[in-house]
Amino acid sequence: MKKIIIAIISSLCLLSCTISYKFNGTVINYDIIKSIAIKDFTNQAAMVYAPLASTFNEGLKDVYTKQTRLELLEANGDLELEGEIIGYDIAPMAVTSNASSAETRLTLRIRVRYTNNTNHEEDYERTYFCVCKQCFQNA
> Confidence band (pLDDT; 50, 70, 90) for 139?
very low
- In sequence order, the β-bridge partners of residue 113 are 82, 125
E strand or H helix that includes residue 116: strand 101-116
Q: Are strands 71-73 and 42-43 parallel, antiparallel or unpaired?
A: unpaired
Residue 92 CA: distances (Å) to CA of 2, 28, 35, 103, 137: 33, 39, 39, 6, 10
Among residues 48, 66, 57, 59, the alpha carbon closest in space to that of 16 is found at 59
- Over residues 94-115, the pLDDT tens digits come to 666 676 666 777 888 999 999 9
Question: What's the confidence (pLDDT) of residue 121?
Answer: 93
> Confidence band (pLDDT; 50, 70, 90) for 1?
low
Looking at residue 86, its amino acid is I
CA distance 14 to 41: 18
Average of per-residue pLDDT across 21-26: 46
CA atoms within 13 A on the CB side of 133: 4
Under a CB-based contact definition with an 8 Å cutoff, are residues 124 and 93 in contact?
Answer: no
Average of per-residue pLDDT across 80-94: 87
Regarding pTM above 0.85, the answer is: no
Cα angle 19, 110, 92; round to 5:
70
